[in-house]
Amino acid sequence: MTEQNDFRTVSLDKSGTKLRIIDQNMLPNSVVWLELDEIEQVWQAIRTLAVRGAPAIGVAAAIGLAVSAANIRAKDFAEFYQQFCRMKAYLATARPTAVNLSWALERLKQVVLQNKQYDPLTIKGALLVEAEAIADEDVACCRAIGEAGLPLLAGVRSVLTHCNAGRLAAVQYGTALAPLYLAKEQGQDIRVFVDETRPLLQGARLTAWELNQAGIGVTLLCDNMAAAVMAQGWVDAVIVGADRIAANGDTANKIGTSGLAILADSFGIPLYVAAPGSTIDLACASGSDIVVENRDPSEVTELWFRQPMAPAGIDVFNPAFDVTPAKRISAIITDRGVIKPPFAKNLAAVFGK
Ligand code: MRU
């Protein structure tokens, strides 16, 4: 990763009082930074996808809750805790599928409880420290995912990815794109076929932008082109991120991933899922327990530029995610190494208590 691309996409601002995020809704046309310190602003940023991608959502929620909690006025612990829990519960409703959101919020709650003997001011300081630790860990995890995934790319000339699981979706490096950044650092040129990813075009707007910035060759595809590209023999591997991985390996990721997995399977192409431990939800037995977010129909009918592109009032199905069955996943690349099937046994061995 070049110095130019070395910035964090989600962080605590220099004053230590605001959540600083790149506004992903403005990309690729403008690079706009948002600084937020109210819980409603943070909720809105997550809900509207100004900050999106499972790890980035978790880190933004942690920093957003910590800076919002810093403004709580409370005379004692009980009063502070009550207001903190109200903020935490509210933020948890922003989006349901990425487990990183509740995971990060729960970590902050534990910090509050562990410090209950101290005054609210001390607890506020401890929350900011924990939120920054979550951000630092995310950077380290993504780097580790890149290192674990790199050997899988030996001899690979081109991969296909869906949605955005890059540095915009995390603090730095990303998950699915991390091995590609590391390959680039080591002089390996891998072309990336990027699905545009309807309806919100995370592939076209975000993945194509960030890979381009990093000097990695991109070919942008409409979502219905993957089979044709695979049939040419141009795709050596499919690599995607995850929003929640169940204990049996079933994986929720951007809508369209499960279709790609069927295609990859049928063409004999490996499909890798890359994710940090914070995305693995061992409390969730299988994909059928994962709540898939349904989003506003206007995302489908009005596209990005808000021009009508379907008859007014037409019935719309707009799930943001789908679940890829574990049997179609070749391996899960994590910060603790590459997990191979059988996932139920191997995920528990690495990530179980
Ligand atoms: O709706 P989004 O843009 O938040 O969906 C994001 C994805 O599906 C990503 O692939 C996933 O969160 C992994 S990000 C490293």
Full pLDDT tens readout for the chain, 353 residues: 444 457 899 999 999 999 999 999 999 999 999 999 999 999 999 999 999 999 999 999 999 999 999 999 999 999 999 999 999 999 999 999 999 999 999 999 999 999 999 999 999 999 999 999 999 999 999 999 999 999 999 999 999 999 999 999 999 999 999 999 999 999 999 999 999 999 999 999 999 999 999 999 999 999 999 999 999 999 999 999 999 999 999 999 999 999 999 999 999 999 999 999 999 999 999 999 999 999 999 999 987 666 777 778 888 888 999 999 999 999 999 999 999 999 999 999 999 97
Structure tokens at 90: 């509210």
**Of the candidates 345, 339, 186, which has an alpha carbon nearest to the alpha carbon of residue 272?**
339
Q: Compute the distance between CA of residue 346 and CA of residue 61 in angstroms, rounded to an integer.
A: 29
For residue 130, the Cα-to-chain-centroid distance in whole angstroms is 20
Looking at residue 1, what is its pLDDT?
44
Catalytic residue from among 138, 195, 223, 243: 243
- Cα 138 to ligand 1 centroid, rounded to whole Å: 15
Beta carbon of 64 within 6 Å of any ligand 1 atom: no
Q: What is the DSSP letter of 326?
A: G
- Cα 91 to ligand 1 centroid, rounded to whole Å: 18
The phi-psi region of residue 250 (left if phi > 0; otherwise alpha if psi is between -120 and 50; otherwise beta) is beta
Beta carbon of 50 within 6 Å of any ligand 1 atom: no
Q: Is 335 labeled as catalytic in the residue annotation?
A: no
Q: H helices within the chain, ranges in order?
A: 39-47, 54-69, 77-92, 99-114, 120-149, 178-185, 202, 208-213, 226-231, 257-267, 298-301, 343-351
The phi-psi region of residue 290 (left if phi > 0; otherwise alpha if psi is between -120 and 50; otherwise beta) is beta
| Three-state secondary-structure class, residue 348 | helix
The answer to the question of whether 268 is labelled as a binding residue is no
The answer to the question of whether 52 is labelled as a binding residue is yes
Looking at residue 311, what is its pLDDT?
76
What predicted TM-score, i.e. pTM, was given to this entire model?
A: 0.95
Beta carbon of 53 within 6 Å of any ligand 1 atom: yes
Q: Compute the distance between CA of residue 130 and CA of residue 333 in angstroms, rounded to an integer.
A: 26
* Residue of 142, 254, 255, 296 with the most ligand 1 atoms within 8 Å of its CB, for mutation: 254
Structure tokens at 105: 């919020």
Structure tokens at 163: 């949605």
Q: Judge residue 262's burial from the number of C-beta atoms within 10 Å of its C-beta, 0-12 exposed, 13-18 middle, 19 or more buried.
A: middle
DSSP string over 260-293 = HHHHHHHHT--EEEE--GGGEETTS-SGGGSPPP
Q: Are 36 and 21 in contact (CB under 8 A)?
A: yes
Looking at residue 3, what is its pLDDT?
42
- Cα 69 to ligand 1 centroid, rounded to whole Å: 27
Q: Amino acid identity of 265?
A: D
**Of the candidates 114, 117, 92, which has an alpha carbon nearest to the alpha carbon of residue 102?**
92
Looking at residue 5, what is its pLDDT?
56
Beta carbon of 170 within 6 Å of any ligand 1 atom: yes
Structure tokens at 253: 């990721």
Radius of gyration over every alpha carbon of the chain, rounded to an integer in angstroms: 20
How many Cβ atoms are within 10 Å of 266's Cβ, its own excluded? 11
Residues paired with residue 252 on neighbouring β-strands, in sequence order:
244, 323
- Cα 130 to ligand 1 centroid, rounded to whole Å: 24
Which atom of ligand 1 approaches the CA of 240 most closely?
10
Q: Judge residue 312's burial from the number of C-beta atoms within 10 Å of its C-beta, 0-12 exposed, 13-18 middle, 19 or more buried.
A: exposed
Q: Compute the distance between CA of residue 291 and CA of residue 44 in angstroms, rounded to an integer.
A: 20
Which atom of ligand 1 approaches the CA of 254 most closely?
8
**Of the candidates 2, 13, 126, which has an alpha carbon nearest to the alpha carbon of residue 66?**
126
